[in-house]
Structure 1
């Protein structure tokens, strides 16, 4: 079934916004099953009101009659962009630079302690709008200039959302997103906007050029990337059920070099014992070196 959206409704012709009372259990179940099967997003019946409220404005904007019409749109293989929009609406991409600073402190100590100028490969596995990847690039730029690491380092940043990746590549942020960046570091790595761009900052090209962005679904087999010395897998596991979470950790851990480190959100629990990862500090785990 294909819905003709070539002529979006004018503002005055928008239908009423649907409510949770218009959202049947059957349609809710089909939407959540689709999200789980496709991207691993787990939402039980307690999330029905949340899903309804997140999707309602979009349904109204498209001029659809309700949730059943929107489900039909999501099931249409020619409407991949709309499916991606739904994923964005149902997940929270709020982030900021140098989130969970103790992880970056550990990373800095780890790299300095290696006393090596060997190549480094890092992966931001759920990069969202790029805050995490650029934070890491700022740190590594500074370590390189001080001679603590060599010049051959790279950062891969991936996310399931094409929309947030496009934004991340631009490297432009509200200044509040950099509230944990020191004034010295901010001046070193960013340009402040003025005029219409006042209140925004742009990450300098020197930093942006060291980050490569790509789309990746963590709930599918991971091929063609790695191995990595450091992987960030933070603030994404909260969207998965226990089984999916274990599978994602195992997939990601397989890309880490022996002796490498996996960072997870400190509120997301521990890596399961069978993964073989050894805890270092809350949210940080080392992949053991086989003997």
Structure 2
């Protein structure tokens, strides 16, 4: 396969529609015909860097489920990225403080990232918990569940390969401990190390429908997903999710989402961080 100059690459209507359909199916992002030139300009340099023959070859790559990391790279190139490691760092500070103050530091710890997307949130939490374990502030019995409605983003989450910019809020020490940097065609990407990936499992789940068989959890993240739902659906989703929390458990929403009505009264710790009552 021979690469050709970027100015010679042509994105046909058919290939544009196929690429945008994949993106829409995975993350719900709609790119209409007016975005064709944007798609071409964002993906063209990536195609050239990979040494591919053009947009049709890149489409074939995106359709290959074994290339989940490349699909994620395409999503990042086509969006104003709002998914990244240690987003809303105040929440991780609250989590660290709350866990370190538990009376039984060796008690099992279960965390749920309920709208995990590509896994940034789940692996950020895993880095924090691994650090706390190493410092003797929590025990070794902890695990994280990440769920999402999109099969394709879950494949990428399991692969755990990320554009380096997504890890811009990860400290150099954590990057050394928990990440492997790519070389060659993988330059500009980083993989989460196996010892951390083993702590996180992913599964498909639709929050808008009743579910069972998961939990109970000590910590639940439900951040930056409720904005897609109407008021009644928000209430139903929050009630379902909070029901999986143990009494006294921690519940996190996106800071900009405010406070969503819930059947169980929640105590505010900081904006977006709540505690479920110890007795319900």
Please say whether Structure 1 and Structure 2 have the same fold, judged by a TM-score greater than 0.5: yes
Contact in 1 for aligned 2:123/2:200 (Cα 8 Å): yes
Counterparts of 1:186 and 1:12, CA distance in 2: 37
What is the number of residues matched between the two proteins? 227
Report the counterpart of residue 87 of structure 2 in structure 1. Answer: 99
Q: Could you give the per-residue CA deviations for residues 8-60 of structure 1, whole angstroms, max 9, x where no partner exists?
A: xxx99856989xxxxxxxxxxxxxxxx9xxxxx9xxxxxxxx85728997xxx
Contact 1:249 1:275 in 2 (8 A): no
1:122: which partner in 2?
A: 111
1:274 is displaced (CA, Å) by 3.6
SS at match of 1:263: strand
Q: Give the secondary structure class of the aligned counterpart of 2:165.
A: helix
How far has the Cα of 1:124 moved from its partner?
Answer: 0.2
Corresponding position of 2:53: none
Instruction: Quote how far apart the aligned CAs of 1:184 are.
Output: 0.9
Q: Which residue among 134, 145, 149 is the counterpart of 2:134? A: 145
Higher Rg of the two aligned structures: 1
Aligned to 2:233: 244
Contact 2:110 2:218 in 1 (8 A): yes
Aligned position for 2:164:
175
Q: Confirm or deny: 8 A CA contact 1:155 1:211 kept in the other structure.
A: yes
Return 5+ residue gaps in structure 2 as ranges: 1-9, 18-23, 37-64, 66-74
Query: TM-score, normalising length from structure 1?
Result: 0.70
Give the 3 Å change call, closer, same or farther, for CA 104–54 of structure 1 in structure 2: farther
Q: What's 1:53 paired with?
A: 32
Deviations 1:132-170 (A, max 9, x none): 000000111111111111111110000000000000101
Match of 2:62 in 1: none
Q: Distance in 1 between matches of 2:213 and 2:204?
A: 13
Moved over 4 A (4+): 11-18, 54-57
| 1:108 paired to 2:64 | no
Which residue is 1:157 aligned to? 146
Q: Is the 8 A contact 2:234 2:260 kept in 1?
A: no
Deviation at 1:210, TM superposition (A): 0.3
Q: 1:194 Cα deviation (Å)?
A: 1.6
Describe the SS at the equivalent of 1:275.
coil
CA distance in 2, matches of 1:150, 1:137: 13
User: Per the alignment, do residues 93 and 220 of structure 1 end up closer, same or farther by CA in structure 2, a change over 3 Å counting?
Assistant: farther
In the alignment, the residues of structure 2 paired with residue 249 and residue 189 of structure 1 have an alpha-carbon distance, to the nearest angstrom, of 32
Coordinate RMSD, CA, aligned: 3.2
Q: Distance in 1 between matches of 2:127 and 2:253?
A: 20
Relative to structure 1, the CA distance from residue 182 to residue 192 in structure 2 (aligned partners, 3 Å threshold; closer, same or farther) is same
